[in-house]
Amino acid sequence: MQALEKIIHSRWLGFALTAALALTAYSFMLQAPFRGMDDSVTIVQNPDIRGFDNIPKIFTSSFFGDRSYYRPLVSLSYAIEYHFFGLCPFFYNLDNVIIHIFNAFAVFALVNRLFQNRSIAFWASLLFAVHPVQWEAVANVSGRAILLNAFFVLIALRLFIDFCGRGKILALAGSLLSFTLAFLCKESAAVLPVVLALYLAFFRREKTKL
């Protein structure tokens, strides 16, 4: 128990354990090939990711080429991977796991800020990292949109809470920037203002009462 407490209260040991368990949990999918129509359209047969000179086109065209989605940061991440690794799916899968691990760290930072309790934050981030509900987003390259969106939304929420608590305009600017980046990854970022309103209605109210 003392060893576990040491890990929980050591930032780097806690992060290392969370990362190791997440990598272990998803190691099975690292050798998986590209899957289905989504990967075919957005990666394998997508000429827009095959050169950085196509970046303007990435930011002026739809994700699937049918005017239904706008996710340029996801396509940009594919372009970077294609530049360095070609069409080797291992690295695309590995990057999904790495983004997921950073999301777990962001969960830790958010929960720790909300509750001021490293133990709660550690277990919340660890559960987030290994819970099977994350499988579809992490184990499919096309889930990149969900992962990147989650990362920027978590950062935006964390910075907004900092702004509310300390009144730093820089934190508010960072939150707005992160919200914008989340929107460029997936449309579901639109729910963030609702989440912020709920935070103000419940968490801030409770702190005011105290």
How confident is the model at residue 206, as a pLDDT? 54
pLDDT at residue number 99 = 98
| Residue with the two structure tokens 């999904």 | 96
Q: Which of 150, 118, 167, 91 is closest to 18 using CA atoms? A: 118
Residue 34 is predicted with a pLDDT of 94
- State if pTM tops 0.85: yes
Q: Which pLDDT score is estimated for 10?
A: 78
What are the residue ranges in the chain where pLDDT is below 50?
A: 208-210
CA distance 171 to 159: 5
Size of the chain, expressed as the number of residues it contains: 210
Average pLDDT over all residues of the chain: 91
Among 30, 171, 20, 32, residue whose Cα is nearest residue 109: 171
Q: Is 184 left (phi over 0), alpha (psi -120 to 50) or beta?
A: alpha
- Looking at residue 210, its pLDDT comes to 43
Tokens 């968490």 label which residue?
Answer: 203
Question: ∠17-20-23 over CA atoms, to 5°?
Answer: 150
What does the pLDDT look like over 105-146, one tens digit per residue?
Answer: 999 999 999 999 999 999 999 999 999 999 999 999 999 999
